[in-house]
Amino acid sequence: MSEKVLIAGGGIAGIATGLALARTDASVQILERAPELTEVGAGIQLGPNVTRILNAWGLSTAMQKVASYPANWKARRVSTGEVLATSPLADMSTRYGAPYLTIHRADLQNVLLHAARVSGVHVQCDSLVQNVQQDSQQVCVTVSLGEALEGTNEVLSKRAQEQTTKEYSNAFVIADGVWSTLRQQVLGDGLPRMTRHLAYRALVAQTDLPAHLRSQDVSVWMGPKVHVVQYPVRGGEWLNVVCLTEGQMYGVANQDLQDWNLSKSLIETRADLQSALRGACSHLQALVEACGDWRLWPLYDRPPMQNAAQHAQARVALVGDAAHPMRPYLAQGAGMAIEDAAELAHQWTTLANQDVRQRFAAFAQARWQRNARVQARAIRNGEIFHATGPMQWARDVGLRSAGKRLMDIPWLYGYLSA
Ligand SMILES: Cc1cc2nc3c(=O)[nH]c(=O)nc-3n(C[C@H](O)[C@H](O)[C@H](O)COP(=O)(O)OP(=O)(O)OC[C@H]3O[C@@H](n4cnc5c(N)ncnc54)[C@H](O)[C@@H]3O)c2cc1C
């Protein structure tokens, strides 16, 4: 008889894990607090370490319909616009066996969700997992069902017509994101930390841009305490633009800090961006000016994982941002969630004749150092991207000399997860 797995959270991590486990013999149910899985988010870059897994799950055709395949990754200077390095992405398939692509988060979520449902995953929305307990035999979670309210975790938990139920399973996966309340219960290590980095993001139709601002490449513009990333999504028809700055969040209520979709007034946003990009070249100024609807995302993370126990505790495993929230400077947060999913399913099958606790322990052992390395490297990349003074000069020398080898990163893209 197939074993039942409950998953808390229907983001990229939860759905990918659901799909991967359903492709084995598990019976999977995802509990998602939102009333429906909405199309929120922005662009995501996926390297060959991730697309190799998606291909193995039979998703390459579905991905080709919605993704973009940029030809180059360019490092540029904010102040002058100088291209410091151009690294080809088009040959990633030859080098690493799978492509480098860019995609809207909602499109990735839809592809995964469709495949998960076809594989038999049951997604139950409007279900906030409040509490988890386990013994040697099973896991029991308390789920609050009912009329959803808009707002934060705290508000959502005070439902108008609260109704609580208990669900039991052989295994439980925590995939409730960076603000995971379930992690706090299981590991007891408090809230994530404020990075004091802010992500302003916008999507603009390429046809709304003057020809010289349109692009099918990934470009990363680096400046003192700021950088801007741009790349195509939705088959190249839209440009995703993200400006990452350093500083405090002013004028935002505490509970809104958990929101990845904050909007300030256009005047306030323009003022913030102008101040962060003071001295930027005219091309970058024009691009930022051309993007109308900016959304603000305060960034939180945790220090790199310390040990396998942070990934699994007996019948409970953590995946994605709940386990290892990271800064976006290596573009691997969703990627590590998908690698987690693949590894969990691998251990589920390889150790099929063993207890769930052994399978989860093997998963944790296989994943924690990889995730810790990527988390640490993402922090380091942020320091390099935002360098000031002599470090900036040294960075530019390094980028120029790396040239087209810049994105040739075997430890990252050549990683063969299960
Ligand atoms: C600016 C920026 C750029 C990025 N760019 C990239 C990139 O290029 N490449 C990349 O790979 N990654 C990128 N990332 C990271 C990536 O977006 C995240 O790592 C990924 O989306 C995390 O997915 P998740 O499923 O773990 O969490 P989430 O997407 O946060 O999903 C958590 C889900 O759990 C639900 N939930 C919460 N609490 C409960 C509960 N108690 N019960 C039930 N449900 C619950 C939530 O409603 C939500 O649906 C970027 C991040 C940022 C901020």
Higher-confidence residue of 162 and 327: namely 327
Quote the pTM value: 0.94
Q: Out of 39, 44, 113, 129, give the residue to mutate to test ligand 1, the one with the largest number of ligand atoms within 8 Å of its CB.
A: 44
Residue 325 near ligand 1, beta carbon < 6 Å: no
Residue 145 near ligand 1, beta carbon < 6 Å: no
Protein residue with its CA nearest to atom 1 in ligand 1: 199
Give me ligand 1 centre to Cα 136, in Å.
Answer: 30
pLDDT tens digits for 34-63? 998 876 778 999 999 999 999 999 999 999
Give me ligand 1 centre to Cα 385, in Å.
Answer: 23
Residue 5 near ligand 1, beta carbon < 6 Å: no
Task: Note the residue count of the chain.
Answer: 418
Residue 17 near ligand 1, beta carbon < 6 Å: no
With the CA atoms of 11, 16, 21 and 24 taken in that order, what torsion angle do they form, in degrees rounded to the nearest 10? Answer: 150
Q: Mind listing the domains of the chain with CATH numbers?
A: 4-192+302-413 (3.50.50.60), 194-301 (3.30.9.30)
Residue 14 near ligand 1, beta carbon < 6 Å: yes
Residue 13 near ligand 1, beta carbon < 6 Å: yes
Protein residue with its CA nearest to atom 19 in ligand 1: 333
Q: Which residue has the tokens 């930022």?
A: 288
Q: Given a cut of 80, is residue 160 above it in pLDDT?
A: no
Closest CA to 273 of 300, 258, 253, 293: 293
Protein residue with its CA nearest to atom 39 in ligand 1: 176
pLDDT tens digits for 309-362? 999 999 999 999 999 999 999 999 999 999 999 999 999 999 999 999 999 999
Q: What is the pLDDT of residue 2?
A: 85
At residue 151 the predicted structure's pLDDT band, cuts being 50, 70 and 90, is low
